[in-house]
Amino acid sequence: MLTKEQLIEYSEDARKTYLDHISIDCVVFGFHEGQMKVLLLKPDDEEKWLLPGGFVQKLEPIEMAANRILKERTGLDKIFLQQFHIFGDPDRAKFHHDLYKDTVPDEENWFAKRFLSIGYYALVDFFGVVPQADQFSELCTWRDLDDMPELLLDHELIFKTALDTLRLQLNYQPIGYNLMPGEFTMPELQKLYETILDKKLDRRNFQRRILGFGILTRAEQPRKGGAHKAPYLYSFDLEKYQNALTEGFKGGW
Amino acid sequence: MLTKEQLIEYSEDARKTYLDHISIDCVVFGFHEGQMKVLLLKPDDEEKWLLPGGFVQKLEPIEMAANRILKERTGLDKIFLQQFHIFGDPDRAKFHHDLYKDTVPDEENWFAKRFLSIGYYALVDFFGVVPQADQFSELCTWRDLDDMPELLLDHELIFKTALDTLRLQLNYQPIGYNLMPGEFTMPELQKLYETILDKKLDRRNFQRRILGFGILTRAEQPRKGGAHKAPYLYSFDLEKYQNALTEGFKGGW
DNA sequence: AACAATGGTGTATAAAGTACACAATTGTAA
DNA sequence: TTACAATTGTGTACTTTATACACCATTGTT
């Protein structure tokens, strides 16, 4: 244990040495018309795009910060959020730094700092979102997964890491409750998996596997009205879904 | 884009609102005599124990910080490190805060802050480690996985999360290169898996599965001298091992 | 020389994953 | 009205992987 004097000295040292700045960047996934979408911001006077993000406030739990930030951009309140990595290269804020470096000296420029950024990914209901730009951006909108623009900073890396994590997650957790509408058909759910994985799946094997998870309830009436054979409607059995989320699927060992 | 005045005002606001403190906590796993071990610190004047940790310095990449911190505690240089979560409850530093709260006022006490902590786990060679206590601790030593003492702060949670992550990792990545000596027998490797998973595995099926990964090389001579039948010696084929690390094992989808 | 303890290898069975075929329904074009 | 394309539902054979269990080999001990 330190003495009083040691503690005060240590504290002064530490204050100079260790202060840092935490931001959160979110990869928000939505699903619409058979396409996986990501919510992006287009900053003023810039070609490239950004992930929605913000700063963690003093004493604010990071989970709460992530929810707050996403509420500002999407209007949504209770969002499926998953922390997946922290990114911490010292020069990752270079964009904002460069943008303002001729305007004000570094000492007065908040952006002339290193930002550690916590990466979250979110799975949301496409129709529930009302995209809202922030003060630095002219646009906040959905972009297709297979038509992504170039991203600023290390947001390319953050996005890729999020997608990899999501794909990995498919192997041991159910997915879809947060992305699909209340009722959906099996082919629609399959399309979700196919866009996430970026590959075709066999219709019949997909159906068997998904049903084998035991997390779906089939409605009595199929969906009428469309062309072709009327498909059955399914919904997630929330209790079993939640259980599968915590338990995980197959063991491996 | 902000004007000069807006930027300066924004920066001042931000400085007050967002400054934070980043620490790193490490769960260091070692393997010795058929037992999984974790490196722990016993602070002065405390019953409970701590994980080795430290602070990330300004402008220091976090990966580098983790390596630096572990070098101080273990003497090891190039360590297998895996970031797995960031822990950010506002009151998680309560221990140090309480410890010193009667000694100096909060403004002068570095510990009267919220610390965000990045959790890393490390897999190391047991014999390569020379445990070294820090200035706050009377002891730094290995503890058996099944004989863990109580831990301070949220280190219990950090440890559990690390173990869960490690167990999950077993399902899609090889493990052992960083934990086993250069040459080892199949039963020894099996014991590693068994202690991590905390369950018995079938000898014969384990062997087939591991060999099926194609990452082991069998030495020509078995290990002589011990009692009973002489077991074969294996070593990891580093190239194939690395490849399996990045590729992952089974797909699932 | 018999025995206990440990390690190496094989085989039968069950479960899971893959590939593919056929029937049913619905709107549309002939 | 009928043939057809498109889509969906269901089944079945085959392959691969996982699981359970049996037998033999080696080595030191009794």
Q: Are residues B165 and B193 in the same domain?
A: no
The amino acid that residue A227 corresponds to is: A
pLDDT at A18: 59
Confidence grade of residue A14 (pLDDT, cut at 50, 70, 90): low
**Per-residue confidence band for B66, with pLDDT thresholds at 50, 70 and 90:** very high
Same domain? For A125 and A214 the reply is: no
Q: Among candidates A213, A135, A225, which has minimal Cα distance to A172? A: A213
DSSP E strands in chain A: the ranges are 19-32, 35-43, 53-55, 80-87, 115-123, 137-144, 216-218, 234-236
Residues B110 and B234 in one domain: no
Q: Which of A55, A62, A182, A47 is nearest to A111 (CA)?
A: A55
Q: Which two tokens stand for residue B240?
A: 């194939």
Check B7 against A57: CB less than 8 A apart: no
Instruction: List A118's β-bridge partners, or say none.
Output: A24, A86
List the one residue out of A120, A151, A117, A118 whose CA is nearest residue A29: A120
Q: Provide, in whole angstroms, the distance separating residue B229's CA from nucleotide C21's C1'.
A: 54
Give me the mean pLDDT over the B145-149 stretch.
92
Considering the domain architecture, whether residues B49 and B163 belong to the same structural domain is answered as: yes
- Cβ–Cβ < 8 Å for A114, A93: yes
Instruction: Return the bridge partners of A4, or none.
Output: none
A44 and A131 share a domain? yes
Query: Is A55 in contact with B111 (Cβ distance < 8 A)?
Result: no
Q: Which residue has the higher pLDDT, A15 or B179?
A: B179
Q: Check if the beta carbon of residue A193 is closer than 8 Å to that of residue A214.
A: no
Give the whole-angstrom CA distance, residue B15 versus residue A193: 43
CA distances from B234 to B128, B207, B225 (A): 20, 12, 17
Q: A98-107, A192-201, B126-135: lowest mean pLDDT where? A: A98-107
User: Does A1 reside within a domain?
Assistant: no
| Whole-number average pLDDT of chain B | 85
The pair phi, psi for residue B22, each rounded to 5°, is -110, 125
Q: How many CB atoms lie within 10 A of CB A12?
A: 12
Helix (H, G, I), strand (E, B) or coil at B9: helix
Given a contact cutoff of 8 angstroms between Cβ atoms, the answer to whether B37 and A67 are in contact is no
Does residue B165 lie in a domain region? Answer: yes
Closest nucleotide to the alpha carbon of B226, via C1': D27
Which CATH number goes with the domain that contains B203? 1.10.10.10
Q: What is the CATH number of the domain that holds A97?
A: 3.90.79.10
Judge: B110–A44 Cβ closer than 8 Å, yes or no. Answer: no
Q: What is the pLDDT of residue A92?
A: 56
Number of domains in chain A: 2
One domain, residues B122 and B228: no
Q: SS3 of A143, please? A: strand
Output the CA torsion sign for B65, B84, B86, A56.
positive
pLDDT category, A104, cuts 50, 70, 90? low
Residue A39 and residue A66 share a domain: yes
Residue A147 belongs to a domain: yes
DSSP string for residues in B22-78? EEEEEEEEEEETTEEEEEEEEETT-SSBB--EEEPPTT--HHHHHHHHHHHHH--SS
Question: Hey, are the CB atoms on A86 and B86 less than 8 Å from each other?
Answer: yes
Greatest mean pLDDT range, A3-17, A44-58, A145-159, B90-104 = A145-159
Alpha-carbon distance of B5 to A104, in angstroms, equals 9
A43-89 per-position pLDDT tens digit:
888 889 999 998 888 778 888 889 999 999 999 888 899 999 998 76
Torsions phi, psi for B21 (to 5 deg) = -130, 125
Nucleotides of D under 7 A from a protein CB: 5-12, 18-22, 25-29
Q: How many CB atoms lie within 10 A of CB A228?
A: 5
Residue with the bigger pLDDT between A200 and B15: it is A200
How far off is chain A from B14, nearest CA to CA, in Å? Answer: 7
Within 7 A of a protein CB, which nucleotides of strand C? 4-11, 16-21, 24-28
- The more confidently predicted of residues A100 and A72 is A72
The structure tokens listed for A194 are 């196919």
User: Mean pLDDT, chain A, as a whole number?
Assistant: 85
- The stretch B141-146 carries a mean pLDDT of 93
| Domain assignment present for B151 | yes
DSSP character for B86? E
Nearest to B22 among A109, A116, A197 (CB): A116
A86 contacts on B by Cβ (under 8 Å): 62, 83, 86, 118
> For residue A251, what pLDDT band results from cuts at 50, 70 and 90?
low
Residue where a domain terminates, one of B169, B197, B218 = B169
Residue B208 has pLDDT above 80, yes or no: yes
Q: Are residues B77 and B161 in the same domain?
A: yes
Q: Give the pLDDT confidence score for residue B16 in this predicted structure.
A: 63
B159 shares its domain with B201: no
- Cβ of A17 within 8 Å of Cβ of B44? The answer is no
Same domain, B134 and B96: yes
Residue B142 located in a structural domain: yes
Mean pLDDT of A108-126: 80
Q: Supply the pLDDT for residue B20.
A: 65
Q: Kindly determine whether residue A88 and residue B62, on different chains, have CB atoms separated by under 8 Å.
A: yes
pLDDT surpasses 90 at B171: no
Query: Which pLDDT score, from 0 to 100, does residue A114 have?
Result: 65
Say if B7 falls within a structural domain: no
Question: A32 or B89: which carries more pLDDT confidence?
Answer: A32
Least confident window among A24-33, A72-81, A188-197, A223-232 = A223-232
Q: Which nucleotide is nearest to A252 (CA to C1')?
A: D18
Q: B117 pairs with which residues across the strands?
A: B23, B87
Q: Is residue B174 part of a domain?
A: no
Average pLDDT over residues A119-144: 90
Could you tell me the residue range of the domain that residue A89 belongs to?
22-169
Share of chain B above pLDDT 70, in %: 83
As a whole number, mean pLDDT of residues A13-41 equals 84
Residues A35 and A133 in one domain: yes
Distance, in Å, from the CA atom of A193 to the CA atom of A204, rounded to the nearest integer, reads 14
Q: Which residues of B touch A2 (CB under 8 A)?
A: 100, 135-136
ipTM given for this complex: 0.84
**Selected residue of B18, B22, B134, B168 to mutate for chain A interface (largest A Cβ count, 10 A):** B18
Q: Say how far apart CA B140 and CA B123 lie, in whole Å.
A: 17
CA atoms within 13 A on the CB side of A164: 12
Residue with tokens 């802050």: B113
| Residue count of chain A | 253
Contact A46, A40 (CB under 8 A): no
Q: For residues A131-140, give the mean pLDDT.
A: 86
pLDDT at residue B168 above 80?
yes
- CA-angle at B18, arms to B16 and B21, nearest 5°: 110
Instruction: Band the pLDDT of B18: cuts 50, 70, 90.
Output: low
* Listed residue (A143, A232, A160) closest to A189, CA to CA: A232
DSSP states along B96-123: HHHHHTTTS-GGG-TTSS-EEEEEEEEE
What per-residue confidence (pLDDT) applies to A96? Answer: 64
On whether residue B14 sits in a domain, the answer given is no
Per residue in A198-212, pLDDT tens?
Answer: 899 999 999 999 999
Please say if the pLDDT value at position B90 is more than 60. Answer: no
Do A104 and A212 reside in the same domain of the chain? Answer: no
**What is the model's pLDDT at position B184?**
95
